[in-house]
Amino acid sequence: MDKWFLFGLCLVFLLGCQSKTDEAEAYEENGELLNEEKAEILERFGEPRPETSERPAASPDDSIVIEMEQDEMLHELQVPTGRYAIADGGWMIEGGEGSAGNVYIHSEEGELLFHDTLYGPFYSTYVIAMTLEETDTVSFDGLQALVLQPLATEYTSELFSGVWEVGLDIEPGTYQITPNVAGIANLELFTAGAEPRVFEIIGLEAEGQEQMDEMPEDTVEATSVTLTFGEGDTLRVTGMARISLERVEDG
């Protein structure tokens, strides 16, 4: 067998081992996903679009409740431009109850901007935060109703599924990010001029408990990551509600 062929095989093997080592080290160090796992997360949607206009003032009186029509499989709607908390609205209608279903958000051009599966409180994902344009289409299935409640623009110390802007929703700085419910969440961090980064955090269930409102510290240990956010960064979260941000010293 040609010695150069053997050399090539050895080189590919060594590079593969190094790649796996890098992946394992990155995940163990701070929950970061690399290579194929990272690509699978990023390819679900395009990069979050920049917010080019000032957000309208939020008023609770502007909440919108949309019911699924009888025999309807998928309901589509458009709402005024604004930032919304999107949740299962079944409990808000007469005779309704909580359920589970998908929420999709498409741009005017048909690009899928966001998708997650909603469950009633207090499951892993029960609310989505998104800034919508009036030309966007929100569609949902599996739910008796969907509620969209305007969200005020202010710094938060608790995240949930959706898209968050640093400088508007998150104060720039370094944070320890920890889940407060059971489940797995992906965090995608977008910085202008840099390669997107993807992280994973896991909230574990206590033995014998199917779902929990909040994880007891003496029973469950959750994974966390430490991230630094700069002005203008965007964070996209999928798969979980109730993720806490705890400020730590920069650097």
| CATH tag, 60-150 | 2.60.120.1050
The whole-number pLDDT of residue 75 equals: 95
Residues of the chain with pLDDT under 70: 1-21, 26, 92-98, 120-124, 205-222, 250-251
**Closest alpha carbon to 216 in 182, 183, 249, 239:** 182
Query: Which residue ranges does the chain devote to CATH 2.60.120.1050?
Result: 60-150
83 phi/psi in degrees, rounded to 5: -105, 130
Distance, in Å, from the CA atom of 101 to the CA atom of 117, rounded to the nearest integer, reads 6
Tell me the CA end-to-end span of the chain in Å, nearest whole number.
Answer: 53
Residues 61-88 pLDDT 10s: 789 999 998 889 999 999 999 999 999 8
Residues 140-164 pLDDT 10s: 999 989 999 999 999 999 999 999 9
CB atoms within 10 A of CB 216: 9
Cα distances from 130 to residues 58, 152, 217, 237, in angstroms, run 13, 12, 31, 11
**pTM reported for the whole predicted model:** 0.82
**Closest alpha carbon to 7 in 15, 22, 17, 18:** 15
